[in-house]
Structure 1
Amino acid sequence: MDREEAVAEGTTRRQELADAAISTLARAGMRGLTHRAVDEAAGVPTGSCSYYFRTRQALLQATVERLAEVDTADLADHPVSAEPVDIAQVAAVTADLVERWVTTGRERMLARYELSLESTRRPELHAVLVAAGKAHRAVAQDLLTAAGTSDPPSQAPVLVAFLDGLVFDHLAGAGELRLTTDELRKRFFDLLYGFTRPLHP
């Protein structure tokens, strides 16, 4: 095996282990996340996870980075056009993301909640999560700019928070909010319509 093949194999194995860590977090929570548990979830020999990620912090960081990588792939399915878009299109994109993240992306979201809580006790992990979240806010700002809202930089974090809140309520909230795709689109449309109004003096 030449060096390039070895590097590619190592990258693939790291991704497999990070994916297994995401599944482990979703299933067993932060306490259940151990190097051995990740090995078992990935179906690899014992010691594989600790070989690639020597410490718990290294494993947590790799998991956050993998979440960001997969989220970026999700967002790439809805590229922002260079041409102006209308708020109905933006509402459809964001509603589709919520739908995806509470179904096929459920594990990822649950893992993210576990990591977010852990980050309140680990400043170094919080820094990684903040860096990953910047990509989401940048995409939201691009969408709002293309839609011609009144203040995309300040409105983008609100849109992301609204999206996050809907996902959380669907998966782990105490409420009974269960919106259909059409209802989600309407809620996002209502929010975005408000964003198009002139700013108050």
Structure 2
Amino acid sequence: MRQNPARRTALLDAAIEVLAREGSRGLTLRAVDAEAQVPVGTCSNYFSNRAQLLLQIMERTRERLTPDPAELAEALAVPPSPELVAFLLRQVHQRMDADRSSYLAMLELRLEGVRRPELGAELNRIHRAGLEENIRFHRDAGLPGDRVAVVLLYLAVHGMIVDDLTVPDVLAGSAGELIDELCRRLLPRDATGNA
């Protein structure tokens, strides 16, 4: 397999676009070659099969949607509060909205994981680890709310993002307003967990 990291990244970015636009059935090595505007067979030089490509897409979407460490550090420079949690969650939504292809590709991967047990197992592992990482981040930053609150926020915000990116007319109000209200209702007023 070839090891040109820039070419591999370009192929994965093309695969994300194909997956988001065409769905899982439209994701072929040849379709990725066409999207990346490279000679036919290039993708197969980097990924031995479709299953390997799907796993690599999963990692690449996470890379693309991960917050910039400097921006995150700047956001955390203020005292912990429900408003700060809402701000951070609005940033999550903004990243997903700005890179819709990555988020839609992630949704397609979840559906494909239902059909492919090996992919489903890997998705479960990665998403479980991501949730635990979010809980640890929340606690380490001294943000208000306990483990259950973080899980509820995760479920609510990710569900809202699915609707906002796929059936936007369903939501009553803006995503930012809904996130603010969710944090006001769910989180205690101070970082110690007291109301």
TM tier relative to shorter chain:
0.7 to 0.9
User: Which residue number in structure 1 is paired with residue 144 of structure 2?
Assistant: 148
User: Which residue number in structure 1 is paired with residue 43 of structure 2?
Assistant: 49
* Residue correspondence of structure 1 range 1-201 to structure 2 within 5 A: 7=3, 10-72=4-66, 74=67, 76=69, 77-79=71-73, 81=76, 85-102=80-97, 104-133=98-127, 134-144=129-139, 146-149=142-145, 151-152=146-147, 154-173=148-167, 176-177=170-171, 179-180=173-174, 182-193=176-187, 196=193
Give the residue type in structure 1 aligned to 2:44.
S
CA change 1:117–1:197 in 2 (3 A) is farther
Is the 1:141–1:155 Cα contact (8 Å) retained in structure 2?
Answer: no
Displacement of 1:127 in angstroms is 2.4
Displacement of 1:64 in angstroms is 0.5
Aligned length: 187
CA change 1:68–1:144 in 2 (3 A) is same
* Residue-by-residue CA offset, 1:177-199 (whole Å, 9 max, x unaligned): 0543541342232244269468x
Give the residue type in structure 2 aligned to 1:177.
L
Equivalent residue of 1:46, what SS?
coil
Is the 1:17–1:49 Cα contact (8 Å) retained in structure 2?
Answer: yes
Is the 2:82–2:184 Cα contact (8 Å) retained in structure 1?
Answer: no
CA change 1:178–1:51 in 2 (3 A) is farther
TM-score, L = length of structure 2: 0.82
CA change 1:156–1:91 in 2 (3 A) is same
The CA distance in 1 between the partners of 2:172 and 2:40, in whole Å, is 41
The CA distance in 1 between the partners of 2:125 and 2:133, in whole Å, is 11
- Structure 1: tracts of 5 or more residues without a match: 1-5
- Structure 2: tracts of 5 or more residues without a match: none
Give the residue type in structure 2 aligned to 1:108.
S
Is the 2:188–2:194 Cα contact (8 Å) retained in structure 1?
Answer: yes
The CA distance in 2 between the partners of 1:44 and 1:174, in whole Å, is 35
Is the 1:24–1:41 Cα contact (8 Å) retained in structure 2?
Answer: yes
Moved over 6 A (4+): none
Between 1:185-194 and 1:158-167, the stretch displaced more is 185-194
TM-score, L = length of structure 1: 0.80
Alpha carbon RMSD of aligned pairs, Å? 2.6
CA change 1:83–1:185 in 2 (3 A) is same
CA change 1:187–1:137 in 2 (3 A) is farther
Is the 2:144–2:188 Cα contact (8 Å) retained in structure 1?
Answer: no
CA change 1:116–1:182 in 2 (3 A) is closer
The CA distance in 2 between the partners of 1:187 and 1:75, in whole Å, is 25
Between 1:62-71 and 1:134-143, the stretch displaced more is 134-143
